[in-house]
Amino acid sequence: MFVYKKKSAISSKSRVFPFSRFTNSKIEDFSYIGLFAFVNNTSIGKYCSISMNFKSGLGIHPTSLASTSPIFYSKKYAIKSSFGFGRLKTVNEYKRVTIGHDVWIGADVIIMDGVKVGNGAIIAAKAVVTKDVPNYAVVAGVPAKCIKYRFSGEIISKLEALSWWDWSEEKIKKNKLFFTNDMTLDLIDQIKD
């Protein structure tokens, strides 16, 4: 089924579901994006679960010029004109979005340009994310606010230090308990190399 892909790296161990547009972006191993995604200028780490209607890297129009229309500043604007002001003003239309590892994003989420989402974060359905999201934070709403953290500060520090998303598939298989039980400090102490 159709996925429009341009200047992008989609890992063979990841999945972008149909009717999605994926440009200037990358998605790493074991991550997926649901139906009807618009993903632009975005880096997505490993083990991310991104639900349907996701949008990131939508672009920025300047708000301080006489007009917000790209016809006055963009060289790549879809509508032809004879104004030709493109070279007079440099506007950074796209700032990269970065999504860490093991991030769960609910349905209908928008992430604004330039935002960094930390490892292990959860973004609630229908959120509009306008600011960076800390590691393991759960954010919700418009604009998205932190409603809680998934784990204690001590566990979050240990998970970050572990960076389990970089483990080999062999090491992951050896540590079935770590992935199939509720998180505790004891569970972290039982990890096998």
Ligand X SMILES: CC(C)(COP(=O)(O)OP(=O)(O)OC[C@H]1O[C@@H](n2cnc3c(N)ncnc32)[C@H](O)[C@@H]1OP(=O)(O)O)[C@@H](O)C(=O)NCCC(=O)NCCS
Point out which residues bind ligand X (CB under 6 A): 49, 51, 106-107, 122, 124-126, 138, 140-141, 147
User: Distance between CA 64 and CA 81 in Å, rounded?
Assistant: 21
Which spans in 35-183 are helix H? 153-162, 169-174, 176-180
| CB-based contact 130:112 (threshold 8 Å) | yes
Q: Which is nearer to ligand X, 170 or 182 (CB)?
A: 182
Quote the tokens at residue 165: 């998303």
Q: Which is nearer to ligand X, 57 or 106 (CB)?
A: 106
User: Distance between CA 193 and CA 92 in Å, rounded?
Assistant: 45
Q: Which is nearer to ligand X, 97 or 122 (CB)?
A: 122
Least separation in angstroms between residue 70's CB and ligand X is: 32
The DSSP call for residue 166 is G
10 Å Cβ neighbour count for 171? Answer: 14
Q: Which is nearer to ligand X, 126 or 174 (CB)?
A: 126
Least separation in angstroms between residue 72's CB and ligand X is: 37
Q: Please say if 61 is a catalytic residue.
A: yes
Q: Which is nearer to ligand X, 59 or 143 (CB)?
A: 143
User: Distance between CA 8 and CA 159 in Å, rounded?
Assistant: 29
Least separation in angstroms between residue 122's CB and ligand X is: 5
Whats the size of the chain, residue-wise? 193
Least separation in angstroms between residue 104's CB and ligand X is: 7
- Which residue is at the shortest CB distance from ligand X? 106
Angle ∠(53,55,57) on CA atoms, nearest 5:
165
Q: Which listed residue (6, 7, 13, 61) is catalytic? A: 61
| CB-based contact 84:33 (threshold 8 Å) | no
Least separation in angstroms between residue 64's CB and ligand X is: 32
Parallel, antiparallel, or unpaired: how do β-strands 42-44 and 26-27 relate?
parallel
Residues acting as catalytic residues: 61
